[in-house]
């Protein structure tokens, strides 16, 4: 196998390719844009031994389900999402009951009730309402306007997941999230207390589709944080450039920052397919500093 030299001064393996497997390992509690559910078990298999697990771009938290344990840290800039995860951890029964009540109200007043909740969420940002909207909006895909308002519509041909099925999913997530700490913070801040025995999985927003995320990312600052983590001996894995068919959306990570690159072919992007009718094969790269 060909090798490449990194800033670690050692020879590292050339890019490897890991093939697609099913979504089955992580129950779908929310479809966050850029979800890593389809790759989660392959990424988790590459994790080293660690004390604390950090996921500073938490989103739908696909890796947290597999790698989280007490004292892990999950963080995101979007407060309603962090509140949602805290609710799953702390009060799953309240979340399930709230969904049951709202689901019934929806069945009696389709689709008007959805828009009542959407307006209310955009005013109050309650995590129970975010959950209801995620369960009943078009294809379950969370989308925001420039202003930061939730702006997806009701999925007319569906009536929302049955409350019993939702309850089972919440219970399995609650089990995995016990003792996990959630922070609403910028990634740099949430990683400030990571130490050499810890492992970080980073899944920052893609360049070029900022409107589907809350927040922005300065790439030089981002590289600086990766470098700093390596200097502190913190192990990290990063999902970074997505090649979609012929189009390459992103830049390559500077070679001095990482030790290994693994290509994960993740099949056809569901989000891209829904939004753009595209059927491009998606390849995601995972960069490792160990
Ligand atoms: C690609 S998504 C993560 C998807 C996740 N891995 C999953 O499986 O669902 C990126 C997340 O980073 C968050 N984010 C954007 N900028 C951030 C920042 N500066 N610090 C922390 N989180 C940020 C977004 O709100 C979004 O939830």
Q: Distance between CA 80 and CA 102 in Å, rounded?
A: 18
Whether the predicted pLDDT of 18 surpasses 50: no
The rounded Cα 26 to chain-centroid distance in angstroms is 12
Domains of the chain: 3-77+185-288 (3.40.50.150), 87-170 (1.10.1020.10)
Q: In a 3-state reduction of DSSP, which class is residue 89? A: helix
Residues 238-256: pLDDT tens digits?
998 654 444 445 567 899 9
C-alpha closest to that of 199 among 85, 79, 81, 63: 63
Residues 138-149: pLDDT tens digits?
988 888 988 889
Atom 18 in ligand 1: residue holding the nearest Cα: 186
Name the most confidently modeled range: 146-150, 258-262, 271-275: 258-262
Residues 95-140: pLDDT tens digits?
999 999 999 999 999 999 999 999 999 999 999 999 999 999 998 8
DSSP 49-75: --SSEEESS-TT-HHHHHH--TT-EEE
184 lines ligand 1 (CB under 6 A): no
| Residues of the chain above pLDDT 90, percent | 66
242 lines ligand 1 (CB under 6 A): no
How remote is the CA of residue 2 from the centroid of ligand 1, in Å? 33
Query: Residue 121: exposed, middle, or buried by beta-carbon count in 10 A (0-12, 13-18, 19+)?
Result: buried
For residue 184, give the H/E element and its range. strand 181-184
214 lines ligand 1 (CB under 6 A): yes
Pick the more confident residue, 104 or 21. 104
Residues 172-215: pLDDT tens digits?
999 999 999 999 999 999 999 999 999 999 999 865 544 555 55
Q: Distance between CA 80 and CA 88 in Å, rounded?
A: 12
């Amino acid at each position: 196998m060909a090798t490449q030299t990194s800033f670690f001064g050692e020879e590292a393996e050339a890019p490897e390719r890991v093939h697609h497997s099913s979504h089955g390992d992580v129950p779908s509690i929310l479809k966050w844009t850029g979800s890593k559910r389809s790759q989660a078990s392959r990424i988790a298999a590459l994790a080293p031994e660690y004390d604390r697990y950090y996921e500073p771009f938490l989103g739908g938290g696909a890796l947290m389900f597999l790698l989280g344990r007490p004292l892990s840290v999950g963080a995101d800039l979007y407060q309603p999402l962090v509140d949602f995860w805290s609710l799953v951890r702390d009060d799953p029964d309240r979340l399930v009951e709230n969904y049951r009540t709202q689901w019934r109200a929806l069945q009696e007043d389709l689709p008007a009730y959805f828009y009542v909740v959407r307006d209310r969420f955009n005013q109050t940002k309650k995590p129970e309402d975010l959950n209801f909207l995620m369960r009943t909006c078009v294809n379950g895909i969370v989308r925001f306007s420039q202003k930061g308002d939730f702006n997806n519509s009701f999925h007319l041909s569906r009536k929302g997941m049955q409350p019993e099925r939702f309850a089972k999913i919440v219970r399995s997530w609650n089990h995995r999230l016990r003792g996990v700490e959630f922070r609403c913070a910028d990634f740099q801040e949430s990683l400030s207390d990571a130490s050499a025995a810890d492992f970080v999985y980073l899944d920052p927003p893609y360049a070029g589709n900022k409107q589907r995320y809350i927040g922005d990312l300065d790439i030089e600052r981002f590289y600086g944080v990766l470098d700093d983590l390596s200097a502190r001996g913190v192990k990290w894995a990063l999902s970074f450039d997505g090649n979609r068919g012929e189009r390459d959306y992103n830049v390559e990570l500077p070679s001095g920052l990482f030790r290994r690159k693994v290509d994960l072919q993740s099949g056809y992007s569901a989000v891209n397919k829904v939004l753009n009718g595209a059927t491009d094969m998606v390849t995601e790269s995972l960069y490792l500093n160990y």
